[in-house]
Amino acid sequence: MGVDRARGRLSGQRRRRAVIQLASTLRNLGQAQESVVLLTAELNAGSDDLDDAVRAFLALALTSVGREREAVSVALTALAAHLTRYNRSLAAYARELA
């Protein structure tokens, strides 16, 4: 994790944090659709402890492009994983919204 020195590219969590920050900046600059594209690709690229951060910023970006139901679904999916009760039913409701 860190910088791929042979190629000069970020890797691992540094890369993922940079993508989240870039997507957030794009959304704030009025380019929310680009943010949605970046964060959706990031969710599909792999999994680590930043998944919920990706989902949170994706939910914000989805709201900015008028896809509120999908945004709530993404946010509830992230939240469901942390609940000690009702996590299965909340995850099912989240899928239903999407």
Q: Three-state DSSP class for 92? A: helix
- The pLDDT tens digits of the residues spanning 31-59 come to 999 999 999 999 998 899 999 999 999 99
Assessment of whether the complete model's pTM goes beyond 0.75: yes
The string of DSSP letters for 45-70 reads H--STTHHHHHHHHHHHHHHTT-HHH
Q: Is the pLDDT of residue 5 over 60?
A: no
Confidence class of residue 8 from pLDDT cuts 50, 70 and 90?
A: low
